[in-house]
Amino acid sequence: MAQKFTLLFCLLIALASCRPALLTVQETARRTTQPGSAPKYSDVCFSSRWERPRNEQDTLETFSSARSFHATYLNWVYTTNPDFIKKADSLGYRMQVALTPTLPDLPFGSNENKIGRIVNKAGQPVTAPWMKGWNNWWGCVNNPAFQEIYFAYIEEALKAGAYGFQVDDPAMGFLLLRNKWEDVCYCAFCRKKADSLGVQPPDIQEVSVKSFHQTMKKRAEELAGRPVPFSCNNFEGDWELSPYGEFDFGVAEIPERRANPEYLYAAIREARRNEKAQVFTFANDRDWLVQKMIAATYACGGNMLVPWDVWQGGGKDRYFGKPEQFAPLYGFVGAVAPWLDGYEDAFYATSQDDVRFIEDRNLPVSFEEYRRQIHAFVRAKPGDADAPVVVHLIDWHVLMEPFGIRLNEGRFFKKGIASVELLTPVPFDKTQHEAAEASGDFSALFASQTIDFQRDGKLLHLKIPKLEQHWGLLILRKK
Ligand SMILES: [Zn+2]
């Protein structure tokens, strides 16, 4: 009998020791391959959609505006002016020149777009529904004359020092077909290619568009003698629709119906799983919503274009955000760059999570009480058990208040958490921002405070003060 008990006891001990230890956030964070030339997590992406001032009435200037938001990367710029591209390059900006299916005919500066265009069965050129009446006909990827126009734009930009390219409407003729806007393309080149394959011209559009983008990237890289990043407007951050997968990263419009942290997190996580990077662009009349979107996008590992020179649709004027509205957040990005770069997604919790069937005390972060809109994004250095861990806190409420959170310290460090520091953006001060931009020292653009905690076994209870600028970064250091 005693022997049996001893056996049973040994078995229980063995089972207990087999029980996996709690995974730490450094173990759940996955090292991902960021496309080398995509924006870094700490880049401030800025789009002057055209060179500004555009004319004598235009009071805006591209580079001084870029500086006022601490931009580091210039995206989605429609230009063929080598002097403008050279200036961006000389000021240290990586500039992406924009390409579209509607690039005008050569020589540069032409307002015509007739050469190498898609035609329907009746032999008429076509355009997208929202471009009707603009005389803006879409080019055919199988037409050598359009290929020549498209590559001429690439060549001119690269020679002037452009860093890469952003392609708007990247599905080109296939977009018109997929959305049943037009039955295309029946030009001589598409007909010939389709005939040789024994199919109809519309059947070859998707594969032709993919192959067009592959060829253009290859030719660009041969010319430049280096990798040349190509991004596209993958609307809403989608990576499933063709041909988004051909691109290194996305610079995409995100509509108001997607303006929430859950969507941002899911979309950016999906991009990272596909080894892509994601930049969003968003503008809205409500400043607080734009500010929360900027903060949450960075907290998820994406970048949000500075809301400046943004198309709003509906006959509204283009949107130009002001430094006093948004520079505090972008200055904060510069200030906390070491806590952004190198860190990967490890855990996400919101105060809305349904915890009726889980033991939320075991989660890395949990909340003291149900609240609608507090979001915590844990980011860690994969496999580095010693590096501090970062928890981005975003308060999505319109009326913000202090709130409580709990940390399970065994999820962060084997020997526990020694200290918690909270970093937050600070209110706008023009002089401080100018000094930071001039010196590269962003230390005046954030505030730091130590957060005390109460220990309850492995659980630490923290009281977070009201996040005046929507965003707070907790830095957890090991014992
Ligand atoms: Zn064609």
Distance from the CA of 149 to the center of ligand 1, in angstroms? Answer: 15
Distance from the CA of 102 to the center of ligand 1, in angstroms? Answer: 14
Looking at the fold, whether 171 and 280 belong to one and the same domain comes out as yes
Residue 328: inside a domain, yes or no?
no
Looking at the fold, whether 294 and 376 belong to one and the same domain comes out as no
Confidence class for position 33, pLDDT limits 50, 70, 90: confident
Measure CA of the first residue to CA of the last residue in the chain; give whole Å: 47
Looking at the fold, whether 263 and 313 belong to one and the same domain comes out as yes
Q: What pLDDT does residue 427 have? A: 98
Is the CB of residue 272 less than 8 Å from the CB of residue 345? yes
Distance from the CA of 412 to the center of ligand 1, in angstroms? Answer: 57
Position 330, amino acid: Y
Out of 6-10, 181-185, 254-258, 356-360, which region has the weakest mean confidence (pLDDT)? 6-10
Digit-coded pLDDT (tens) for 423-453: 999 999 999 999 999 999 999 999 999 999 9
Residue 338: inside a domain, yes or no?
no
Distance from the CA of 203 to the center of ligand 1, in angstroms? Answer: 12
Residue with tokens 């190509």: 230
The two tokens of residue 418 are 């020694």
Digit-coded pLDDT (tens) for 398-423: 999 999 999 999 999 999 999 999 99
Q: What pLDDT does residue 30 have? A: 92
Distance from the CA of 135 to the center of ligand 1, in angstroms? Answer: 18
CATH value at residue 97: 3.20.20
Looking at the fold, whether 299 and 419 belong to one and the same domain comes out as no
Looking at the fold, whether 448 and 368 belong to one and the same domain comes out as yes
Distance from the CA of 87 to the center of ligand 1, in angstroms? Answer: 37
HEC string of the chain equals CHHHHHHHHHHHHHHHHHCCCCCCHHHHCCCCCCCCCCCCCCCCEECCCECCCCCCCCCCCHHHHHHHCCCCEEEEEECCCHHHHHHHHHCCCEEEEEECCCCCCCCCCCCCCCCCECECCCCCECCCHHHCCCCCCCECCCCHHHHHHHHHHHHHHHHHCCCEEEECCCCHHHHHHHCCCCCCCCCHHHHHHHHHHCCCHHHHHHHHHHHHHHHHHHHHHHHHCCCCCEEECCHHHCCCCCCHHHCCEEEEECCHHHCCHHHHHHHHHHHHHCCCEEEEECCCCCHHHHHHHHHHHHHHCCEECCCEEECCCCCCCCEECCHHHHHHHHHHHHHCHHHCCCCEEEEEEECCCCCCCCCHHHCCEEECCCCCCEEEEEEECCCCCCCCEEEEEEECCCCCCCEEEEEEHHHCCCCCEEEEEEEEECCCCHHHHHHHHHHCCCHHHEEEEECCEEEECCEEEEEECCCCCCEEEEEEEEC
Distance from the CA of 22 to the center of ligand 1, in angstroms? Answer: 58
Residue 12 predicted with pLDDT over 60: no
Residue 17 predicted with pLDDT over 60: no
List CB-based neighbours of ion ligand 1 within 5 Å.
140, 142, 185, 187, 190
Residue where a domain stops, chosen among 290, 323, 356: 323
Q: What pLDDT does residue 269 have? A: 95
Looking at the fold, whether 284 and 372 belong to one and the same domain comes out as no
Digit-coded pLDDT (tens) for 71-113: 999 999 999 999 999 999 999 999 999 999 999 999 999 999 9
CA distance 58 to 412: 52
Share of the chain above pLDDT 70, in %: 96
Q: What pLDDT does residue 173 have? A: 97
Distance from the CA of 185 to the center of ligand 1, in angstroms? Answer: 5
Distance from the CA of 147 to the center of ligand 1, in angstroms? Answer: 11
Q: Domain count of the chain?
A: 2
Looking at the fold, whether 27 and 49 belong to one and the same domain comes out as no
CA distance 123 to 56: 41
CA distance 253 to 280: 6
Residue where a domain stops, chosen among 271, 293, 323: 323
Distance from the CA of 154 to the center of ligand 1, in angstroms? Answer: 21
Digit-coded pLDDT (tens) for 319-348: 999 999 999 999 999 999 999 999 999 999
Digit-coded pLDDT (tens) for 345-397: 999 999 988 888 888 999 999 998 887 799 999 999 999 999 999 999 999 99
Short-list 123, 246, 104, 264, CA closest to 191: 123
CA distance 357 to 336: 36
Distance from the CA of 184 to the center of ligand 1, in angstroms? Answer: 7
Distance from the CA of 186 to the center of ligand 1, in angstroms? Answer: 6
Compute the C-alpha angle 369/372/377, nearest 5°. Answer: 85
Distance from the CA of 103 to the center of ligand 1, in angstroms? Answer: 16
Average pLDDT over the chain, rounded to an integer: 94
Distance from the CA of 139 to the center of ligand 1, in angstroms? Answer: 8
Distance from the CA of 239 to the center of ligand 1, in angstroms? Answer: 26
Q: What is the CA radius of gyration of the chain?
A: 26
Residue 231 predicted with pLDDT over 60: yes
Q: What pLDDT does residue 34 have? A: 75
Residue 165: inside a domain, yes or no?
yes
Residue 13: inside a domain, yes or no?
no
Looking at the fold, whether 281 and 311 belong to one and the same domain comes out as yes
Is the CB of residue 351 less than 8 Å from the CB of residue 370? yes
Residue where a domain stops, chosen among 323, 355, 381: 323
Q: Dihedrals φ, ψ of 454, to 5°? A: -110, 135
Looking at the fold, whether 297 and 357 belong to one and the same domain comes out as no
CA distance 198 to 380: 53
Distance from the CA of 144 to the center of ligand 1, in angstroms? Answer: 10
CATH value at residue 461: 2.60.40
Looking at the fold, whether 353 and 436 belong to one and the same domain comes out as yes
Residue 345, strand partner residues: 379
Residue 43 predicted with pLDDT over 70: yes
Helix axes 287-300, 323-335, angle to 10 degrees: 20
Q: What pLDDT does residue 1 have? A: 53
Which residue segment(s) compose the domain that 196 sits in? 45-323
Distance from the CA of 117 to the center of ligand 1, in angstroms? Answer: 7
The two tokens of residue 56 are 């004598």
Residue 2: inside a domain, yes or no?
no
Digit-coded pLDDT (tens) for 265-324: 999 999 999 999 999 999 999 999 999 999 999 999 999 999 999 988 788 889 999 999
Short-list 336, 333, 373, CA closest to 352: 373
For the segment 169-197, the average pLDDT, to the nearest whole number, is 97
Residue 160: inside a domain, yes or no?
yes
Distance from the CA of 210 to the center of ligand 1, in angstroms? Answer: 14
Distance from the CA of 311 to the center of ligand 1, in angstroms? Answer: 30
Residue 16: inside a domain, yes or no?
no
Looking at the fold, whether 382 and 299 belong to one and the same domain comes out as no
Short-list 128, 216, 90, 92, CA closest to 165: 216
Residue 434: inside a domain, yes or no?
yes
Distance from the CA of 96 to the center of ligand 1, in angstroms? Answer: 27
Q: What pLDDT does residue 385 have? A: 95
Distance from the CA of 193 to the center of ligand 1, in angstroms? Answer: 9
Short-list 75, 70, 41, CA closest to 300: 41
Looking at the fold, whether 118 and 176 belong to one and the same domain comes out as yes
